[in-house]
């Protein structure tokens, strides 16, 4: 961000009021088994969709500046739900409204790979000619059994098609992934890493699987039938993953977080910087770094 904008830049989470096709019945009604947007997104906890976007931005900036008094520039992060699950006209309005704010220097738009029709991508491509825009696509895993377990409602080929069409329009792309999905071993995670290395998105966000209240995952977790990774196990998986990625892919996140009032497990999720410190220690012990095992020179077509 300093290279791009000349200073540190913070993300302000805002709620555009979009729904999700995996909740409203278009694809499904249960949603992803881990999903409780009130537990994940600050804007969904503090703001309401009926509050104008400009007011949500002002509120978010005030919150950040109380914590970080040097925060001056911000990216408007359309975070809760599926933010391309709307009409091009509505999305264009949301984006342009946010960009009018004097302290907003760009947009990040969270979405799913199955809600990126060409007309939405064309609109974003046009807007990206004059604004910094990043699409953040939730993938979670390349493995179908994992996507089925998470109740994602799409397969990996849908993601690949969306990724290809985004790349054709030179859109900046981020990919969200979960490490530690039950049923995935280290080889499965390495396979996902090799595929992400081949695709070379602009950035990656890694999350661990954690349990929040009022989700289908809570019910499964309470049966005791799934194993959540310990901090040490998770740090090892993160380093395995990052060693394979090209060194120029920006890693925006290496673990997830949730509001304490929603979080159930694992407990180490509550400790700020626990994952970062554990991952740094693992890198030091291995005398390794991101990209140390990257050896895939071919770019995706």
> Which residues have CB under 8 Å from 54's CB, separation 6+?
97, 100, 101
Q: Is the pLDDT of residue 108 over 50?
A: yes
Q: What is the pLDDT of residues 253-280, one digit of tens each?
A: 999 999 999 999 999 999 999 999 999 9
Residue 71: per-residue pLDDT: 86
Residue 69: per-residue pLDDT: 82
Q: Is the pLDDT of residue 47 over 80?
A: no
Q: What is the pLDDT of residues 209-268, one digit of tens each?
A: 999 999 999 999 999 999 999 999 999 999 999 999 999 999 999 999 999 999 999 999
Mean pLDDT over 96-114 rounds to 97
Q: Model pTM greater than 0.75? A: yes
Residue 167: per-residue pLDDT: 98
Q: What is the pLDDT of residues 167-203, one digit of tens each?
A: 999 999 999 999 999 999 999 999 999 999 999 999 9
Mean of all residue pLDDT scores within the chain: 93
C-alpha distances in angstroms, 230 versus 34, 152, 240? Answer: 18, 24, 15
Q: Is the pLDDT of residue 151 over 60?
A: yes
Residue 300: per-residue pLDDT: 46
| 2-286 carries CATH number 3.20.20.70 | yes
């Amino acid at each position: 961000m300093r290279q791009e904008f000349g200073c540190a830049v913070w993300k302000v989470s805002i709620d555009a009021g979009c729904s999700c096709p995996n909740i409203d019945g278009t694809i499904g009604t249960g949603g992803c088994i881990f999903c409780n947007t009130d537990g994940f997104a600050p804007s969904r906890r503090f703001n309401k969709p009926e509050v104008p976007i400009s007011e949500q931005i002002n509120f978010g900036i005030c919150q950040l500046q109380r914590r970080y008094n040097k925060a001056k520039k911000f990216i408007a992060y359309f975070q809760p739900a599926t933010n391309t699950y709307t009409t091009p006209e509505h999305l264009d309005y949301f984006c342009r409204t946010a960009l009018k704010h004097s302290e907003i220097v760009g947009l990040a738009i969270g979405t799913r790979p199955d809600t990126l029709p060409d007309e939405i991508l064309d609109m974003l491509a046009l807007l990206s000619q004059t604004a910094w825009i990043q699409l953040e696509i939730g993938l979670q895993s390349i493995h179908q059994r994992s996507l089925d377990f998470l109740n994602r409602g799409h397969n990996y080929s849908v993601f690949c098609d969306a990724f290809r069409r985004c790349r054709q329009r030179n859109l900046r792309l981020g990919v969200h992934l979960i490490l530690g999905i039950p049923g995935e071993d280290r080889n499965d995670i390495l396979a996902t890493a090799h595929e992400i290395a081949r695709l070379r998105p602009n950035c990656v966000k890694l999350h661990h699987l954690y349990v929040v209240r009022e989700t289908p995952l809570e019910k499964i977790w309470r049966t005791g039938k799934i194993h959540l990774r310990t901090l040490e196990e998770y740090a090892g998986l993160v380093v395995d993953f990052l060693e394979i990625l090209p060194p120029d892919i920006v890693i925006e996140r290496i673990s997830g977080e949730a509001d304490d009032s929603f979080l159930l497990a694992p407990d180490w999720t509550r400790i700020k910087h626990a994952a970062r410190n554990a991952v740094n220690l693992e890198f030091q012990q291995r005398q390794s770094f991101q990209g140390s095992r990257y050896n895939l020179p071919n770019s995706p077509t």
